[in-house]
Amino acid sequence: MDIAIVSAHELTPDTPAIARELGRGHRVTVYTRSKVQGDGVEHVPAGPDMELSESDLLPYISDFSDGLRRRWREHRPDIIHAYSWSSGLAAIAGSEGLGVPVTQTFHSHYDDNRSAEPVRRLECAIGRRARAVIAACADEESELIRMGVPRRNISVVPHGVDIERFRRQGPAFPRGERPRLLHVGHVGADWAVHALRAVPEAELVIAGGDDQSVERLRALAGEHGVADRVEMLGMVPHTAMPKLMRSADLVLSLPPTVPTGTAALEAMACGIPVIASAAGAHLDSVVDGVTGFLTRPDRPLEIAHRIRRLLGDATLRTAIGYAAADRARSRYSVERISMELLRVYEKTCA
């Protein structure tokens, strides 16, 4: 099968591994305006040579779709899989008249409140136009049905984790004597800062966020009197995340909405207990009390209680870590996710 993966905006962390796994028995090409290098990755120029948010990318979607159309007329794929609404727009336009079915995955990440409603309308239109739509979790499946996507066209396939890179054994970044909490991503990190006040023995490392987010969180830490125990790393290359996660005692992931839950999955694969917001993909991946803890992110005292319980019980921490790694490996490996995607592709092409 000739598979075209379209990711106009940016590649999700598991996309290269998924493409590599699918490529073991099929021809896979990833089309992106990103300058990511790799086998099977084809750069399609569109707009200025810089990173753009999806909303800022909208004026250049026609350029991107034109580039796709030229390539696909020369070499017609059997199936197209678009990741994100901008990729879906480009894939549908670029494949017009070719008779190639489009499979769509949404991330439901809006850049800001002003763009949310227009993007939602676009997603509704794309979801109805695509031959198949993939939801990352049961929560997203329900949302797609509310959007008007026919239930028969929806398949639930979670995002995967590269278990060869994210595993229990491996090097870790050096650290001090304090118990280390790691929050991945700046969204929801406010609640981790709030919770830190009630865990005086621990340090908090926050990975992710632009300069503005870093300064905001640093100011918040100062207001709460924990600035000396909070380290802001800013943007961390994904290649460094396994070492960073293995350096932590606990990983926190507390965003209010969770389209993919990738950070929690990667921590689980590393055997690190997770305290995660009870939302979206976390509800599927984190088994509360078994592979981590689920909590409402706006309850910092509850979060602190979970942290203290895990830090104070090494046996529980180890047991949860092993259970988390086992679940990540058995349910969310890119090998298994690739097989599930392939079944969707075959059904869509039938």
Contact 34, 10 (CB under 8 A): yes
Is residue 155 located within the same domain as residue 69?
A: yes
* Residue at 173 is within a domain: no
Is residue 36 located within the same domain as residue 122?
A: yes
Is residue 195 located within the same domain as residue 156?
A: no
What's this model's pTM, rounded to 2 decimal places? 0.90
Contact 27, 1 (CB under 8 A): yes
Confidence (pLDDT) at 115:
53
Rounded to the nearest 5°, which phi and psi values hold at 257? -120, 140
Is residue 142 located within the same domain as residue 201?
A: no
Is residue 84 located within the same domain as residue 198?
A: no
> Which of 120 and 261 is assigned the larger pLDDT?
261
- Total Cβ atoms within 10 A of residue 95: 22
* Residue at 282 is within a domain: yes
Among 39-53, 110-124, 163-177, 203-217, the range scoring the smallest mean pLDDT is: 110-124
Confidence category of residue 6, pLDDT binned at 50, 70, 90? very high
3-state percent helix, strand, coil for the chain, nearest multiple of 5: 45, 15, 35
Average pLDDT (88-117) is: 80
- Of 238, 232, 177, 241, give the one whose Cα is nearest residue 210: 232
- Total Cβ atoms within 10 A of residue 326: 14
Residue 26 pLDDT > 70, yes or no?
yes
**How do residues 32-41 score in pLDDT, each as one tens digit?**
998 777 778 9
Please, which residues bridge with residue 133 across strands? Answer: 104, 154
- Of 71, 73, 74, 85, give the one whose Cα is nearest residue 30: 71
DSSP run (H or E) holding 102: strand 102-105
Per the structure block, which two tokens stand in for 348? 């869509």
- Total Cβ atoms within 10 A of residue 93: 15
What's the rounded Cα separation, in Å, for the pair 340 and 336?
6
Average pLDDT (109-113) is: 44
* Residue at 171 is within a domain: no
Is residue 209 located within the same domain as residue 284?
A: yes
Is residue 95 located within the same domain as residue 221?
A: no
Is residue 327 located within the same domain as residue 337?
A: no
What's the rounded Cα separation, in Å, for the pair 238 and 181?
18
What are the DSSP calls for 244-292, one per residue? HHHT-SEEEE--S--SS-HHHHHHHHTT--EEEESSTTHHHH--BTTTE
* Residue at 175 is within a domain: no
Under DSSP, is residue 87 helix (H, G, I), strand (E, B) or coil? helix
Is residue 283 located within the same domain as residue 231?
A: yes
Is residue 152 located within the same domain as residue 205?
A: no
Per the structure block, which two tokens stand in for 224? 């709460």
Is residue 184 located within the same domain as residue 89?
A: no
Average pLDDT (225-233) is: 97
Single-letter amino acid, residue 173: F
Residue 95 belongs to domain spanning: 2-160+333-349
**How do residues 36-92 score in pLDDT, each as one tens digit?**
777 789 999 998 888 887 888 889 999 999 999 999 999 999 999 999 999 999 999
Residue 236 sits in a domain of what CATH number? 3.40.50.2000
Residue 13 pLDDT > 50, yes or no?
yes
